[in-house]
Amino acid sequence: MKKVVLAYSGGLDTSVAVAWLREQYGCEVITLTVDLGGGSLREGVERRAISAGASRAYVVDARERFVTDFVWPHLQANALYQGVYPLATALARPLIAQLLVEVAQKEGADAVAHGCTGKGNDQVRFDVAVHALDPGLEVVAPMRVGMGLSREQEIDYAHERGIEIPITKASPYSIDANLWGRSIEAGVMEDPWASPPADVFELTVDPALAPAAREITIAFEGGIPVSIDGERLHPLELVDRLSVLAGEHGVGRLDHVEDRLVGIKSREIYEAPAATVLHAAHRALEGLTLSKDTLRFNRLVADELARLSYDGLWFSALHRDLRGYVNSSQRVVSGEVRIRLDHGSATIAGRRSPLSLYDKSLATYEADDAFDHASAVGFIEIFGLPLRVEAARHGAVGKHHGAAWAWTDPLLAGLPQQVTDK
Ligand code: ARG
């Protein structure tokens, strides 16, 4: 290993990693810092990289690429890992990996490095993505191969070498942040029964202390949000503004015991105000504009896409093909959604679309009802046919207390009997 490109956050761990890589491998270290919004770019990061021994420090503003290429496709898909986590951290990894590979190729480096530990998802995401994009690159994770220093040891290590380190108070939490959300773990949250302490939250106020409820209107075109309250906004501006708006109302706090790829259950607190509102609004608009079958199929796709992204398989063919399907399904998801932000909740107050499938003349209970009530009889006759045949031949399930099948099915025989119908 002669030249390595290190994903550099500017924090203590990666600053020490610059020097550690040079000393361990006698190699040249180039750092890459990626600005993904949400305050993820630290001040003086280039200077600190050089002070730690980097020969060159890249800082790339990838915020727009992050939103348009990584965040929007997952919003369009309604992709939430295990139905909860909007994937802020997970979506950032393939983009950082892409940039690492771009810089490595430009610099003629033979390896890339990252500061992940050996028990999280992020190491998997980086390694797998880098190798998919350039199998010739070696991936080194100092934390996995011997650089396991305590915070105090890292501070000493840096001082001995005159490395400038960020002046931050020791935080008991492990935090990752970008414009799509903050992920917070460790400290007292390792007890899944313990409430997250107030000081873990930065983007959202305590819902109990939020101001009076307010309503906002978000417009979508092709499943992508384009305006707030009638004002057309650049994607970055839209996410930022929504993050502040929703955060002020305490919207977007998530508490998730999630299943990591490496087999560990982990308790994570997320703050994702913009994601929470946009996901709710997008789903509401889909409910109006997509057919029942498309909606049902989309739920499967959402789950699958979320899992692939969470597991770091962004650059797989399946991921790309599912994104293609999602994008196609979104061509009619245009319209507006009204959302009420009220002490921590974001509830749908209304939706409308020129492409709506909702037909009032069919849904109404009023006099101008256009639905043919009489033909419902024939429909039900045919629809219920298989059930009537089954009930006639096998007996209707639930007809008698202790239906025969409940006692004779060998799988059920050992279970406590819970047949309650009379
Ligand atoms: N559990 C989340 C994920 O795997 C977030 C991990 C980010 N790290 C952190 N320090 N909280 O995507």
Looking at residue 408, what is its pLDDT?
Answer: 54
Q: List the residue whose alpha carbon is closest to atom 4 of ligand 1.
A: 121
Helix segments in 311-400, DSSP class H? 317-329, 360-363, 373-383, 385-394
User: Over the stretch 358-391, which tens digit does the pLDDT of each residue have?
Assistant: 988 888 888 888 888 889 999 999 999 999 999 9
Looking at residue 412, what is its pLDDT?
Answer: 55
Contact 76 CB / ligand 1 (< 6 Å): no
Looking at residue 400, what is its pLDDT?
Answer: 60
For residue 294, pLDDT over 70 is answered with yes
Test site for ligand 1: of 125, 258, 268, most ligand atoms within 8 A of the Cβ: 268
DSSP single-letter state for residue 416: P
Token match 């490109």: residue?
5
One-letter amino acid for residue 216 of the chain: I
Confidence class for position 422, pLDDT limits 50, 70, 90: very low
Would you say 36 and 125 are in contact if contact means Cβ atoms under 8 Å apart? Answer: no
Looking at residue 416, what is its pLDDT?
Answer: 55
Distance 89 CA to ligand 1 centre (A): 6
Query: Is the four-CA dihedral 316, 319, 325, 330 of positive or negative sign?
Result: negative
Encoded tokens for 392: 């006639």
Q: What is the mean pLDDT of residues 159-174?
A: 79
User: Over the stretch 51-89, which tens digit does the pLDDT of each residue have?
Assistant: 999 999 999 999 999 999 999 999 999 999 999 999 999
User: Over the stretch 43-54, which tens digit does the pLDDT of each residue have?
Assistant: 889 999 999 999
Contact 90 CB / ligand 1 (< 6 Å): yes
Query: Which atom of ligand 1 is least distant from the CA of 122?
Result: 4
Q: Which domains does the chain have, with CATH numbers?
A: 3-65+80-160 (3.40.50.620), 174-290+333-358 (3.90.1260.10), 372-412 (no CATH)
Lowest-confidence segment of 127-136, 179-188, 334-343 by average pLDDT: 179-188
Looking at residue 162, what is its pLDDT?
Answer: 85
Alpha-carbon span 145 to 147, nearest angstrom: 6
For residue 156, pLDDT over 90 is answered with no
Looking at residue 414, what is its pLDDT?
Answer: 58
Global confidence as pTM: 0.90
Q: Residue 393 in 3-state DSSP?
A: helix
Distance 379 CA to ligand 1 centre (A): 50
Q: What is the mean pLDDT of residues 125-137?
A: 97
Looking at the DSSP assignment, which residues form a beta bridge with residue 219? 227, 336
Confidence class for position 402, pLDDT limits 50, 70, 90: low
Contact 117 CB / ligand 1 (< 6 Å): no
Distance 272 CA to ligand 1 centre (A): 13
Distance 72 CA to ligand 1 centre (A): 20
